[in-house]
Amino acid sequence: MFRNYLISIGMPKNFEELGAKKEDIPKLVEVLCRGDGRDGTISGFITLNEDDCTKIYEMMV
């Protein structure tokens, strides 16, 4: 499982280990999706909007 792999290489497995809190999510999403003049989405394998990114971050709380 990917999560187990990340843990095995010392990556944080949740927001607590990262030093972040649930109340940090709006700012994290803003920086991710609106930083550097972005239009509110990020692209890669699929395009994610701010709501998608919020839901992903909330899974890490």
Distance CA 60, CA 26 (A): 14
Residue 3 has a pLDDT of 78
Contact 50, 29 (CB under 8 A): yes
List average pLDDT for each run of 10 residues in the chain, which is 61 residues long: 87 88 96 94 95 94 88
Residue 46 has a pLDDT of 96
Residue 22 has a pLDDT of 95
Residue 1 has a pLDDT of 77
